[in-house]
Structure 1
Amino acid sequence: MLVLTRRLNEAIQIGEDIEIKIVGVEGDQIKLGISAPKEIDVHRKEVYLEIQQENKQALNNPDDLLNLLNARKE
């Protein structure tokens, strides 16, 4: 893991398309601004993990999805 020190209004560049900027510091919280292309999803880690879990569950239940789609057609 790369660990960098940044101050307020300083940034980190990832590749050519992603910039992470320190936009605020309040107590023990740091506010980040993230500039990235629209085709790149940016999520908090806990949200990302929840999406991954839901995707795994959906893959494990393909029959439920097919039944739901078939019920809508009728």
Structure 2
Amino acid sequence: MLVLRRKVGESVVLAGIITVSVLAVEGARVKIGISAPPEVTVVREELLSMREKQRQDERETAT
């Protein structure tokens, strides 16, 4: 895993098409902005985990 330090107003560019910017730091929370083309899906990790658990529960219920 690459670990970077960024200040408010600074950004990181991924694959030349996705920009992740630090918008604010409020205590222990960091507000980020993500600029990506429409064909790139951006989803919070906890939502992916929740979806996977739901799928697993559905598979267990179906069998």
TM-score by length of 1: 0.69
Identity fraction in percent: 33
Q: Which has the higher contact order (CA 8 A, sep 6+)?
A: 2
CA–CA separation in structure 2 for the residues paired with 1:2 and 1:16: 17
CA–CA separation in structure 1 for the residues paired with 2:19 and 2:45: 18
Amino acid at match of 1:36: A
Q: Give the CA deviation at 1:25.
A: 0.8
Q: Which runs of 4+ in 1 moved over 3 A?
A: 55-58
Quote the residue 1:27 is aligned against.
27
Gaps of 5+ in 1: 62-74
Q: 1:37 to 1:29 in 2, by over 3 A?
A: same
Higher relative strand content: 2
Quote the residue 1:2 is aligned against.
2
Quote the residue 1:13 is aligned against.
13
The alignment partner of 1:52 has SS state of helix
CA–CA separation in structure 1 for the residues paired with 2:57 and 2:40: 23
